[in-house]
Structure 1
């Protein structure tokens, strides 16, 4: 891995929900993450694309969702991204979250240990799989800033993405690609599961890779993850990756300008991997105080605003102070 193609960690995770409104309520009212952008899928303008992140939408903190119309429920299995993690400050924070989940009737599995870290696996109403992971004694990529006006005390609030879990039948091949192409290093290698990390490492730059040849192949739908994105510094690094993909013969999307960041997509087996620039970010088209309260559109869709707003189901995301 050269400096020109070094990855910095996880940028975002995009999943699918059955209901954008229900999802908004869960992420803001239960998890206490801030809606920093309400926009549409740029490839399917009839679909919302919502971004939940830290207080300022920092890269490495955002979980995003599509609500494709008439999307069926996903089917769990192998060859899929199987769990998303969120970082919280301490082990004590997990005790707080157990009580919060119990009070709010959120399904969870209790606190357990994973590669020496305390974790709290849980699900939403779509049976999307998540876990909270403690940053106590964590070193590496720094977290973001918790939502200052959120419902969770700042000392326990979510402030970044943690390790992404990927489960595949072609375990050794996928691990080899992650290390030789993407520059991940192996932290812990156990039977049928390995912990890898990239860049500065730590919870914000790790991947949990599991081996599963017994389950059926997962089918995408709501409750499943669509893709994971890893961070690159800027456009120059993104173009270095484009050159690398072409040199290695890896089919890819080519450069895609998403307005809030620039992107490059490649499918490794069944897993869609995006590389995304850290900027420009989510602060350019809305004031900090009202991030996510209105439908934001990139400039190339602005002339279709009236049509889009007439077709997409409105939902109120205006926050009351």
Structure 2
């Protein structure tokens, strides 16, 4: 059975050590994979998620030490939102204050309490408090108590000139449906997805286009159970929307294709398989630097140029 929703979100960051400190220590996410940018192996590719690195929990970064700040604009992800238990919002408001994290006062959005904040590079993030998820398994390897810990993605919001063409991709290809409208937001939900099941489209015609840099989301990846499910999505993109993707690329932990959706946001379709335990046990995820086979011969050089993380 195909489970739809968000597979992962990939963003651009500044210094790697600062990135790890914020997401690993302040937010309490697990570092589930420490590897490199396959196209720029002198740069880390860091993956954060839950205890098992499940699809729908994974936030990844390309941390360039001297990356210039990005500029939010049309054709980009505006906000990445995590799920926490409904009763944990107070804990997180206090924790953000304690760690000097810029944040807004909690607001209600589609009937849910949302606490928006920014990471050290200015990336727009939020926590949404949800009822009924306190019993879900949470990563307990940080100093964030498990009862308050983040439980994967809730949603992303996209800033667009026109919602309709993007909505057509979400509904026809990725299995979402419109469930509500509030102010300038149109909400789409993937039924049956346990995590990352919401995409909000915010129409903001006339804004400047986005400029990628530190704090910017590079792309959003949507789930495909396997190659066959991915192929069906590609068929729908071509037949119904006239969109063709890149060739499939092996990312070791999933297989991916990429395309620009009509609103100019970069979308990826990533397979759930084989997963992050393919090259190291689940209990030791993220501890060792993992390289694809084609880069193993360069390990000594790569390790020499990568910045220290601790």
TM-score normalized by the length of structure 1? 0.90
Give the aligned length.
308
Bigger shift: residues 14-23 or 247-256: 247-256
**Residue pair 1:7, 1:230 contacting (<8 A) in 2 also:** no
CA distance in 2, matches of 1:181, 1:234: 15
CA distance in 2, matches of 1:193, 1:29: 32
Question: Secondary structure of the residue that 2:80 maps to in structure 1?
Answer: strand
1:97 — aligned with what? 92
Deviation, structure 1 residue 203: 5.9
CA distance in 2, matches of 1:104, 1:68: 23
CA distance in 2, matches of 1:149, 1:315: 18
Deviation, structure 1 residue 214: 3.4
**Structure 1 residues 214 and 202, CA gap change in structure 2 (3 angstroms):** farther
Question: Secondary structure of the residue that 2:220 maps to in structure 1?
Answer: strand
**Structure 1 residues 174 and 122, CA gap change in structure 2 (3 angstroms):** same
Question: Secondary structure of the residue that 1:226 maps to in structure 2?
Answer: strand
| Structure 1 residue ranges without an equivalent (≥5) | 317-321
**Structure 1 residues 183 and 284, CA gap change in structure 2 (3 angstroms):** closer
2:109 — aligned with what? 114
From 240, 259, 263, the counterpart of 1:266:
259
| Structure 2 residue ranges without an equivalent (≥5) | none
**Residue pair 2:8, 2:58 contacting (<8 A) in 1 also:** yes
1:124 — aligned with what? 119
2:32 — aligned with what? 36
Deviation, structure 1 residue 202: 6.7
* Structure 2 residue 250 is matched with structure 1 residue 257: yes
Q: How does 1:298-309 map to 2 (within 5 A)?
A: 298-309=292-303
Query: Cα RMSD (Å) of the superposition?
Result: 2.0
1:319 — aligned with what? none
CA distance in 1, matches of 2:43, 2:239: 35
Question: Secondary structure of the residue that 1:58 maps to in structure 2?
Answer: coil
Summarize deviations over 1:208-236 as a string: whole Å, max 9, x none: 11000132111110011001111111122
**Residue pair 2:15, 2:65 contacting (<8 A) in 1 also:** no
* Structure 2 residue 206 is matched with structure 1 residue 214: yes
1:247 — aligned with what? 239
Question: Secondary structure of the residue that 2:17 maps to in structure 1?
Answer: helix
1:290 — aligned with what? 284
Deviation, structure 1 residue 135: 2.0
Q: How does 1:171-250 map to 2 (within 5 A)?
A: 171-201=163-193, 204-248=196-240, 249-250=242-243
Deviation, structure 1 residue 198: 1.6
Question: Secondary structure of the residue that 1:280 maps to in structure 2?
Answer: coil
Bigger shift: residues 106-115 or 279-288: 279-288
* Structure 2 residue 62 is matched with structure 1 residue 78: no
From 58, 61, 64, the counterpart of 1:65:
61
**Residue pair 1:12, 1:64 contacting (<8 A) in 2 also:** yes
**Structure 1 residues 226 and 297, CA gap change in structure 2 (3 angstroms):** same
TM-score normalized by the length of structure 2? 0.93
**Residue pair 2:5, 2:195 contacting (<8 A) in 1 also:** no
Consecutive aligned runs of 4 or more in structure 1 exceeding 6 Å deviation: none
Deviation, structure 1 residue 145: 3.3
Deviation, structure 1 residue 254: 1.9
